[in-house]
Amino acid sequence: MGWDGLKSPDRLAAHGAPADMAEDALPPGLASDHDVLVFAEAELAAGRPAALVTIVGLDGPFSRPLGAQLAVAGDRRFAGSISGGCLEQALTEEAQTALREGSNRTLRYGSGSPYLDVRLPCGGGLDLHVDASPGRELLQKAIALGRSRTPFALGFDPKSSRSSLRLLEVSERGRAGEFVRRYDPRLRIVLAGRGWEIVAMSQMARTSNVELVVASQEQATLDFCRSHADDLIRLTVPTAAPSLPLDANTAIACLFHEHEWEAPILLDALRSPAFYVGALGSRQTHQRRIETLRALGAGPDDITRLTGPIGLFPSQDPRSLAVSALSEIVKVWNERGGSR
């Protein structure tokens, strides 16, 4: 099986040999929810078949959640993750059968499965649905919603022999017997400030498939982060906060050494839908920060939302701080159900 790269906006590489992968390409098993749809649509756009495999039932513990998906090409390349690697080969083969026959399939692995040679290390049972003919137009619409950071859902009837995939609004309930799979925008992190902490954190965030925005008053910081960030914002006036992209799937971390820059940005962030607002500094610095924010009109609810000092553990160098802060953000993100 050759390693063929797939170029996409999310730097996704199809299953293939490392020698042929782009330097910053992601392995197929690290594909995000949206990457899986991008992969399938790209195959269909090239006139090649693609199947969409979805976990539609779980009995007992398993390494991936209900709704986890795999997109499989006609030459066995794939994107996505259904397991830690123990099922992918079997599923790519099943997908080939579905593509050849042009008919959807339902599969059972683990407890109650006819596949005695495929064991689940976690125990329990797993039900999967293979859609052999997802519609390209529908996938295009779904991908467009994902890129605009609009939540959406896909619904389908697991018992249908033909593709029944349809696009739903997140608030819309599925039909009787329909499986509904929700897609949320990917995690976005806004880093505001200057210095090596931001540079280190931007490097690590980039490898985590995070949408990254860096705002700084220092050109050198912006230049160092340029290759990692999706957007750069130049801060010009300490007393005026710029308009930052802060939605419910966004975390913002202020890493200023000159703290006069942070108060207006933090005040706006605390009153935004951002799910995480944090700032760098010692406990004494954080207490002074709270006093400054109160003087600017921050109320008790605003102050309660502020995390400081940021990070899961104390750190005294830029890379450790980056690991600590990014880990805290991802922990909060996962706890609120923002990641599959």
pLDDT digits (tens, 9 = 90+) for 187-201: 999 999 999 999 999
What integer pLDDT is reported at residue 239 of this predicted model? 84
Q: What is the mean pLDDT of the chain?
A: 87
Rounded to two decimals, the pTM is 0.83
Protein fold of 188-335: Rossmann fold (3.40.50)
Which tens digit of pLDDT belongs to each residue from 121-152?
A: 666 788 999 999 999 999 999 999 999 999 99
pLDDT band per the 50, 70, 90 thresholds, residue 293: very high
Judge contact between 74 and 43, C-beta under 8 A: yes
Domain ranges of the chain: 18-183, 188-335
Q: What percent of the chain has pLDDT over 70?
A: 88
What integer pLDDT is reported at residue 118 of this predicted model? 61
What integer pLDDT is reported at residue 340 of this predicted model? 46
Tell which wins on pLDDT, 115 or 89: 89
- Among 251, 255, 241, smallest CA distance to 194 is for 255
Tokens 């042929």 locate to 20
Which tens digit of pLDDT belongs to each residue from 12-40?
A: 445 443 334 444 566 777 788 999 999 99
What integer pLDDT is reported at residue 89 of this predicted model? 87
pLDDT band per the 50, 70, 90 thresholds, residue 112: low
* Terminal CA-CA length for the chain: 28
Q: Which two tokens stand for residue 42?
A: 């790209």
Across 236-253, average pLDDT: 93
Query: What is the residue type of 170?
Result: V
Beta bridge partners of 216: 234
Q: What is the SS3 assignment for the chain?
A: CCCCCCCCCCCECCCCCHHHCCCCCECHHHCCHHHHHHHHHHHHHCCCCEEEEEEEEEECCCCCCCCCEEEEECCCCEEECCCCCCCHHHHHHHHHHHHHHCCCEEEEEECCCCCCCCCCCCCCEEEEEEECCCCHHHHHHHHHHHHCCCCEEEEECCCCCCCCCEEECCCCCCCCCCEEEEECCCCEEEEEECCHHHHHHHHHHHCCCCEEEEEECCHHHHHHHCCCCCEEEECCCCCCCCCCCCCCCEEEEEECCCHHHHHHHHHHHHCCCCCEEEECCCHHHHHHHHHHHHHCCCCHHHHHCEECCCCCCCCCCHHHHHHHHHHHHHHHHHHCCCCC
Instruction: Judge whether residue 116 has pLDDT over 70.
Output: no
Instruction: Judge whether residue 300 has pLDDT over 70.
Output: yes
What integer pLDDT is reported at residue 22 of this predicted model? 43
